[in-house]
Amino acid sequence: MRSLSALSVLTIVILASAALAPAQLAVENCQDSRGVCAYQKPLGDLLQAAKDNNEQLRGDAIRALLEPEVVPDYFVLALSEESVFDNVVNAWERARVDKQVGTSANGTGTTDLVSRPSTPELLGVAVQLGALTQTVSGSTSTFNANAYGAYHAIVGHPAICLVCGDSAWKNLNFSASFDLSRQATKQVATSGVANATTPPLGMVQLPQSSRQLSSVTARYDIYNPLDPRSKEFKKAWSTAFQSHQKDLVNAAKDLDKALSDIFKPLIADKALGLLRDQYKSAIMKDAIANDVAQLKKDFENYFKDLSNLAYKDIPDLDQKLAAAAAAYARYSQMNYDAVQEARGKPQFTAEYTYNHPVSQPDTHDFKLIYGYTPKSTTGVLFTLNLTGSVYGGSIPTGAKYGRMRDFQFASQLDLPLGDVITHRTTFTVAGYVQYQFDPSVLNIGSGNLVPGTSITLPKDAQVLLGTKGTLGIMQAKVTVNTKAGVSIPVAVSWANKTDLLNATDVRGHIGITYDFNSIGQLFGH
Amino acid sequence: MACSLTDNGMQFSAAIGAKVTVKVIADNTKLVEAEYNDQSIPVVNNSATFTVVGGSNLLWLNLAGPQEDVEIVEDCGGGKTQHMFGYTDDAHPALGFTIIGA
């Protein structure tokens, strides 16, 4: 019941986040209104220009709407199959080593000693076996969602857009982990024995719906604020541009070739001019009258005629659109990387986790995550975590432990083996140090025996187990990345002790994670 | 100085042999590459200059930078410019203009 309610809360939070996302020009259905969907921005600009009586803005908007070569990304993306763009972007997304899909080090059923700075753009799912700081290994299933990606998936927009600008909602993520191996029983009083041969039996243990929720996490990526007008950004952008210029020029040449293959035959057809003339006055009239519905209708009709003309004039248009979409994705990725570089690194992530461990008090973890990619390397990621953990709920009177549970420091190096984009395997080494202020607290529920005796506890009790002090863990991990977004981490770790036992511990860990980057990928097409 | 391009409201035309300099005006956005009539043209200080040839030919301008306000102008010399196209708070990897040489 508790896990169900937690999942409901998580869903409500994600949907509420989505509802609060910035308002956009409403688009009903991108499958039926591909033109209006792709050309939302200039349609909005035209309405605004008509309202403000701004002649220059109106001229720019009309150019962007009726001359397809002026802003060709609108045209290409309107006619391209979504999967074409997705496939290229997904190759880049899969290559990233900075995503945290599973649960963090403190739970059971984890393969990750250190939390990475990023998360999936839409949804992530992980099933992991093992434990790092915990004495008892477990298996955990983690569901991860990005507020912006989830909202876009719900309304049918692409979850990943490299040129769509910045939304604060892109940086907000939620996850919930469920312990698959957790079992619970409930002690119930009997009504007496059913026959004379049965010895007296006052209480029985009944299996009950287990409290499977093991943790809930909210995280926010903190970037330096992007103010393109600031002196600092201008200076950083100049440096970043120079370091990426050569690659951008090469990608630009490929893009221009792909666009010329599409637009040269189209602009040579006089029918294009006639089509423009046919619709221009109607579209202008709709905008001046602020008749949004009619404007959408007229523009969609124009775009249908334009796409019919394009399919007539341009041989193998679908192949050429696919080539152009791929060239756009490559170029946009480079531009995105350069802009991110100019925004400044390091990238910080603030994370809050509510942990609900088995037979231990709940904890609240506050973590700061820092990710750094050295400039001299390609794809290598260095990550640092700093965490403080406090016990939740009320501390019993006379407790021999305080509110503060521990401090944690962890670092990790991820090294892609092979090409930065196409690598199949990532090698990871990580170290973790935790200082615990008191021995671990173990909850013993009523009805259980006092350890070492035959005395049944009349009410809930707590004991201290293990030792306070420093817990150190080293881990080596190999993650195999498949083309479909599935990753399989296999790891081995050594610890000087665990949370409950004061003895060295060597353990193996395995998991499987899935990073859904598009709603199409989610539904398998 | 007179500008070389004539804006007919939708497309641009110019006399064959006219030299045209186009310039990108923005806080950060850089002109990465420019091509006219399938030929790469040199980019200097966010500007590119080409000589108009006969017929309808495409001018491609490739831009890199953050989302911001960008204006494309013809640099007519003597501090005079002619607006060709612009957009606000956006980013586009490529812009194309049909130049009719006659």
**pLDDT tens column, A185-196:** 666 777 777 877
Using CB atoms, pick whichever of A57, A71, A280 lies closest to residue B92. Answer: A71
* Whether pLDDT at A90 is above 60: no
A89 pLDDT tier (thresholds 50, 70, 90): low
User: What is the average per-residue pLDDT within A115-141?
Assistant: 71
Higher pLDDT, A169 or A75: A75
Q: Is A228 within 8 Å of B27 when comparing Cβ atoms?
A: yes
Higher pLDDT, A262 or A505: A262
A175 pLDDT tier (thresholds 50, 70, 90): confident
* Whether pLDDT at A466 is above 90: no
Distance CA A509, CA A97 (A): 19
Higher pLDDT, A516 or A56: A56
Using CB atoms, pick whichever of B38, B64, B67 lies closest to residue A338. Answer: B64
Q: What are A182's two structure tokens?
A: 């957790």
User: What is the average per-residue pLDDT within A167-177?
Assistant: 80
- Cβ neighbors of A382 (< 8 A, separation 6 or more) are A371, A372, A373, A374, A411, A412, A413, A414
Residue with tokens 């503060």: A404
Query: Which helix H or strand E contains A18, and what residues bound it?
Result: helix A2-19
**Is the separation of the CB atoms in A118 and A220 below 8 Å?**
no
A101-114 residues labelled b (16+ CB within 10 A) or e (exposed): bbbbbbbbbbbbbb
User: What is the average per-residue pLDDT within A125-147?
Assistant: 74
* Whether pLDDT at A447 is above 80: no
Q: Is A72 within 8 Å of B96 when comparing Cβ atoms?
A: yes
* Whether pLDDT at A104 is above 60: yes
pLDDT digits (tens, 9 = 90+) for A452-461: 566 666 667 7
A401 pLDDT tier (thresholds 50, 70, 90): confident
Q: Which amino acid is at B33?
A: E
Contacts of B27 in chain A (CB under 8 A): 228-229, 234
User: What is the average per-residue pLDDT within A433-446?
Assistant: 84
Using CB atoms, pick whichever of A234, A249, A268 lies closest to residue B56. Answer: A268
A268 φ, ψ (degrees, to nearest 5): -75, -15
**Is the separation of the CB atoms in A346 and A223 below 8 Å?**
no
Contacts of B48 in chain A (CB under 8 A): none
Q: So what's the pLDDT on residue A16? A: 36
Q: So what's the pLDDT on residue A519? A: 43
* Whether pLDDT at A264 is above 70: yes
pLDDT digits (tens, 9 = 90+) for A387-399: 999 999 888 888 8
pLDDT digits (tens, 9 = 90+) for A284-343: 999 999 999 999 999 999 999 999 999 999 999 999 998 998 888 889 888 888 887 787
Q: So what's the pLDDT on residue A6? A: 39
Q: What is the mean pLDDT of chain A?
A: 78
Contacts of A62 in chain B (CB under 8 A): 10
| Mutation choice for B interface testing from A41, A63, A253, A306 by most B CBs within 10 A | A63
pLDDT digits (tens, 9 = 90+) for A14-30: 333 333 333 344 544 56
**Is the separation of the CB atoms in A367 and A115 below 8 Å?**
yes
Alpha-carbon separation of residue A47 from A50, A289, A482, B47, B95 (angstroms): 5, 9, 46, 31, 22
Report all structural domains of chain B as residue ranges with CATH numbers, in order of start.
6-101 (2.60.40)
Q: How close, in Å, is residue B4 to chain A by CA atoms?
A: 19
A207 pLDDT tier (thresholds 50, 70, 90): low
Q: So what's the pLDDT on residue A18? A: 35
Residue with tokens 């025996």: A449
ipTM of the complex: 0.96
User: What is the average per-residue pLDDT within A148-165?
Assistant: 61
**Is the separation of the CB atoms in A403 and A395 below 8 Å?**
yes
Q: What is the mean pLDDT of chain B?
A: 94
Q: Which amino acid is at A237?
A: W
Distance CA A138, CA A242 (A): 49
Q: What are A371's two structure tokens?
A: 């990710």
Q: Which of A95, A112, A160 has its CA nearest to residue A353?
A: A112
A510 pLDDT tier (thresholds 50, 70, 90): confident
A211-215, A267-271, A373-377, B39-43 — which is least confidently predicted?
A373-377
A346-350, A495-499, B2-6 — which is least confidently predicted?
A346-350
Is this structure's pTM higher than 0.95?
no
Q: So what's the pLDDT on residue A518? A: 44
Q: So what's the pLDDT on residue A151? A: 76
Q: So what's the pLDDT on residue A265? A: 95
- Cβ neighbors of A4 (< 8 A, separation 6 or more) are none
- Taking CA atoms, what residue in B is nearest to A236? B28
In this structure, the number of other CB atoms found within 10 A of the CB of residue A202 comes to 8
- Taking CA atoms, what residue in A is nearest to B60? A256
Distance CA A203, CA A200 (A): 10
Using CB atoms, pick whichever of B32, B88, B92 lies closest to residue A249. Answer: B32
Contacts of B11 in chain A (CB under 8 A): 67
Q: So what's the pLDDT on residue A291? A: 93
* Whether pLDDT at B75 is above 80: yes
A7 pLDDT tier (thresholds 50, 70, 90): very low
Contacts of B33 in chain A (CB under 8 A): 248-249, 252-253, 256
